Amino acid sequence: MKELFDKISFKTSKMLTREYSTSFSFAIRMFHKRFRDPVYGIYGFVRLSDEVVDTFHDYEKTKLLESLKSETYEAIEKGISLNPLLNSFQSVVNKYGIERELIEIFFRSMEMDLYKKEYDPHDYEQYIVGSAEVVGLMCLRVITEGDNEKYQQLKPYARHLGSALQKINFLRDINVDYSMGRVYFPGININTFTTESKRIIEKDIEDDMQKGYAGMCQLPRSAEMGIYLAYKYFSVLLEKIKKTPPERLFKERIRISNARKYWILLLAVAGVRQQ
C-alpha cells in the first residue's frame, strides 16, 4: 500500500515544516487543502538540503549533499524513495511537472554554500535565483495546476517575491552567517555595513516586494491568501529590521513573536488586508 507510505511521507514534510518555520506553517494553512501537501513536500525538500550545508558541521557535507542530489534524481525517476521527505518531493515533481532544471539550479546554490564565503554581485544574484526564486517557481507550478499560460504570466512575479523573502532572511540572519565566515551581500562586512548601505539593500527588497505583490493579486483565491500571509509576515519583519541599527543586526537575530504572527493571521482571516 504505497498510498499509506505516501501519506506518511507528506505528514513527515508537514511536521518538519512546522518544527522549522511557524511563519511558513501558518501561511500554508491558508492555502486550499489540495495545495497544502504539495507545498509541504517542496518545503521539506528545501529545508533538508539547507540543513546539510548549514548545520551538519561534524560530517562530510560535500558527500552528504552529493548523495542527497543523486537520491533526489533517482526518486524522481523511479517515483519512490525510502526517504519520506524525498518521496513526498518526487511525488510533487512528477504530478505537477516541475522541471529538472529548477532542481539543478537549486542544488547549484546549495553547493555554493559549501565553498563560498563572500559573494560578488554576479554570484549573489545567482545564489538568490537558485536558493529562492526557483523555489517560488516550484510552488507556482503547484498553484497553477498545469495551466502553463498562467504559470508563464505569473513567473516574473514569483521570482521577485522569492528574491525579496530570501534577502530579508539574509538581513535577519546576517549575524549567524557572519559567525560562519559567510557574507551574502557583496562588499559588506561588519565594518562596512552602515546605515546607508543597509538602506540600499532595504530599498532593493522593497522593489522586489512591490513587484511580487502585483503578481500575488492575480492568483486564484485558493492560493492567494497563503501567499499573502507569507508576504505579510516578511513585510512586518522587514519593517522591524529597518528600525534596527546596522551594528545590532550583527549581534542578534530579529524575530516576529508568535503572538504577532497570530494577530496577522487573524487579520488576514477577517479580510483585513494591507500591502
- For the purposes of burial, counting CB atoms within 10 Å of the CB of 11, is it exposed (0-12), middle (13-18) or buried (19 or more)? middle
The three cell numbers of residue 225 are: 491568501
Supply the pLDDT for residue 273: 57
Task: Give the total residue count for the chain.
Answer: 275
Phi, psi of 31 (to 5 degrees): -70, 160
Phi, psi of 118 (to 5 degrees): -125, 145
Instruction: Give the range of the structural domain holding residue 202, as residue numbers without chain letter.
Output: 2-269
**Rounded mean pLDDT of the chain?**
92
Give the Cα separation of 173 and 178 in Å (integer): 8
Supply the pLDDT for residue 267: 78
Q: Are the C-beta atoms of residues 253 and 175 closer than 8 Å to each other?
A: yes
Over the chain (275 residues), what is each successive 10-residue block's mean pLDDT?
A: 93 95 89 96 96 93 97 98 98 97 97 91 96 96 95 96 96 89 88 91 96 90 89 93 93 87 78 57
Supply the pLDDT for residue 275: 56
Residue 143 forms part of a structural domain: yes
Query: What CATH number did the domain enclosing 75 receive?
Result: 1.10.600.10
Give the Cα separation of 116 and 188 in Å (integer): 15
- Say which residues have a Cβ less than 8 Å from residue 201's Cβ, sequence separation at least 6: 167, 171, 185
Give the Cα separation of 94 and 25 in Å (integer): 23
Cα–chain center distance at 145: 20
Residue 275 forms part of a structural domain: no
Report pTM.
0.93
Residue 114 forms part of a structural domain: yes
Residue 97 forms part of a structural domain: yes
Supply the pLDDT for residue 261: 83
Q: Are the C-beta atoms of residues 190 and 175 closer than 8 Å to each other?
A: no
Residue 84 forms part of a structural domain: yes
Residue 220 forms part of a structural domain: yes
Give the count of domains, the chain. 1
Taking alpha carbons only, the member of 175, 183, 47, 64 closest to residue 116 is: 183
Residue 169 forms part of a structural domain: yes
To which residue does cell 540600499 refer?
Answer: 200
Residue 274 forms part of a structural domain: no
